[in-house]
Structure 1
Amino acid sequence: MADQDTAQTVDRTRAPEAAPPVVGRAEFDTALAEQVALEKEVTRHDDRVSAARRRLPMVQVEDYVFAGRCGPVRLVELFGDRYLLLVQNVMFDPGWEQGCPSCTWAVDNLPANMGRLADEGISFAMVSQAPIEKLQAWAKERGWDHRWVSSYKTSYHYDWGWTRTDDSGREGQLPGYSYYLLRHGVPYLTYMTTARGTEAILPVAHIMDRTCYGRQQDWEDSPTGWPQEPTYG
């Protein structure tokens, strides 16, 4: 995933010196056809993975009471009048004054028209561990109007591994997404993902992947001379 601060420091207005080799149309069409064949393999494999995901079991989740903009908000209330719910876990430690840059970038990747999710029967909300006052301040600065609740006075982040303690006793958070189903008034977790699993719904990352230079990050396998910057500056 791209890091917001890094993206702001790299000059994207100047074209790199390195570039793909120039070939004739026939050679390009052949190379492109080979690439498309590889991508079709990925698509078919992704279909198999999605089929397996739809066959996962589910686990009942406590009806946590979060802090919202206008007061307490139960987990079941985040569904609204729908039975499916996507929750983005935005890294925001209680001691921070701003949200995680990478998570902020991910929120900025959300659809411009979130009503498209609602059209499909899916409600959306964000949750963070920082107090609600800090979340509201950051949302105002970023211009977000998404529903965002705080788990500050609950055990939610610890119960589900979004905040973990390492061997030295230091706490750290994870970004990710939780998918819930409301059945007979009871919330169930059906799927969750973190780390690079979050990239599945980040359109900017996929757009960058399909340019000739990719994401221009140092973990990528790119030709010699391709521009690359640290993923997290």
Structure 2
Amino acid sequence: MTDHRVLDHDDWVAARKALLRKEKEFTRLRDALTRERRALPWERVTQDYRFDGPDGPETLADLFDGRSQLIVYHFMYGPGWDEGCKSCSFLADHFDPAIVHLNQRDVSMVAVSHAPRAEFEPFQRRMGWRFKWLSSHGSSFNRDYNVTFTRDQLDRGAAVYNYRPGGFSGTEAPGASVFCRDPADGQIYHTYSVYSRGLDMFITAYHWLDIVPKGRDEDRLDYTMSWLRLHDAYGD
């Protein structure tokens, strides 16, 4: 950290303004990309997906909870697991504070996992999360949205993740999918899905780290996020 240049105030402000010009250009590019994302064509959802939720069986339409837009986070929790994925848990720590605000903008948000609900409910209680978390066990939902794979698919390099084959190493993968429901006829549309590094923008803690001198400080780690622990397991 000590190898940074140290300037007097006026020179520091000049350097900050130069960076600010680049930040503003990035913001304009991001706004343009966001407009393109919203303008993507939609596809009809024709499957009658069923989920097991805290209040019993629910359809995909039920998950909208009276709103027209729905975000589903594909939480990595496979059958037989004792804990959820650490990176998914990192994201999930940010869900509850946001959902109350999303609801005011006609958006519902839930998490869905492949494991039976009875297997991840104790973990949700341990983490103290309040967001709605459902199981897709027994349906093709996770397979259709490319976040659950068979071992055979993985061995053959046929598991399609982030829109390319061979893109993931395990049987469960993270992602988020967006749906819209037409209030006139109830038709549901799939409007967007995002995977891998595309999920980065939803991790608020990372973006706070991006503004401190050491940043995410992951360059010398064996793999990205190897420092990460469940929020009750840091030990300090």
Structure-1-length-normalised TM-score: 0.84
* Residue 21 of structure 1, CA deviation: 2.6
- The CA distance in 2 between the partners of 1:19 and 1:128, in whole Å, is 46
C-alpha root-mean-square deviation of aligned residues, in Å?
Answer: 1.7
- Give the counterpart of 1:116 among 88, 101, 105: 101
Query: Which residue in the other structure is 1:221 paired with?
Result: none
Paired with 1:64 and 1:140, the residues of 2 have a C-alpha distance of 26
Alignment check: 8 A CA contact 2:72 2:109 kept: yes
* 1:65 aligned partner: 50
SS of residue matched to 1:144: coil
Contact 1:63 1:76 in 2 (8 A): no
Aligned-pair identity in percent equals 31
- Secondary structure of the 1:173 match is coil
Displacement of 1:110: 2.3
Offset at residue 32 of structure 1 (A): 0.7
Say which of 146, 152, 159 aligns to 2:144: 159
Q: Which has the higher contact order (CA 8 A, sep 6+)?
A: 1
Render the CA deviation track for 1:166-198: whole Å, top value 9, x for unaligned: 235885222111111001212211011011111
Superposition deviation, residue 63 in structure 1: 3.1
Q: Does residue 1:188 correspond to 2:180, yes or no?
A: no
Give the aligned partner of residue 43 of structure 1. Answer: 27
Alignment partner, residue 12 of structure 1: none
> In the alignment, what sits opposite 1:32?
16
Distance 2:108 2:144 in 1: 22
SS at match of 1:166: helix
Residue aligning to 2:221: 229
Q: Could you list the per-position Cα deviations for residues 115-157 of structure 1 after superposition, in whole angstroms to 9, with x for gaps in the alignment?
A: 2111111011100101101121111110111111101111111
CA distance in structure 2 between the partners assigned to 1:34 and 1:155 by the alignment: 51
Distance 1:146 1:109 in 2: 10
Cα distance in 2 for residues equivalent to 1:94 and 1:110: 23
Query: Distance in 2 between the 1:65 and 1:111 partners?
Result: 24
1:127 maps to 112
Offset at 1:19?
Answer: 5.6
Partner of 1:148: 133
Measured in 2, the distance between the counterparts of 1:186 and 1:48 equals: 29
Cα distance change on mapping 1:174 and 1:18 into 2, 3 Å: farther
Q: Return the offset for 1:111.
A: 4.9
Aligned residues: 208
Name the structure 2 match of 1:222.
none
The answer to whether the 8 Å contact 1:63/1:187 transfers is: no
**Inter-CA distance 229–153: structure 2 relative to 1 (3 Å threshold):** same
Secondary structure of 1:133's aligned partner:
helix
- Please give the alpha-carbon distance, in whole angstroms, between the structure 1 residues aligned to 2:175 and 2:118: 22
**CA distance in structure 1 between the partners assigned to 2:70 and 2:17 by the alignment:** 39
- CA separation of 1:59 and 1:143: change in aligned 2, threshold 3 A: same
Distance 1:172 1:30 in 2: 50
Residue by residue over 1:21-72, the C-alpha shift from the partner in whole angstroms, topping out at 9 and shown as x without a partner, is 3211122111111111111111111111111112111112223101112321
Whole-angstrom distance in 2 between the partners of 1:73 and 1:214: 42
The match for 2:82 among 80, 94, 97 is 97
Match of 2:7, as an amino acid? V
What is the TM-score of this pair, normalised by structure 2?
Answer: 0.83
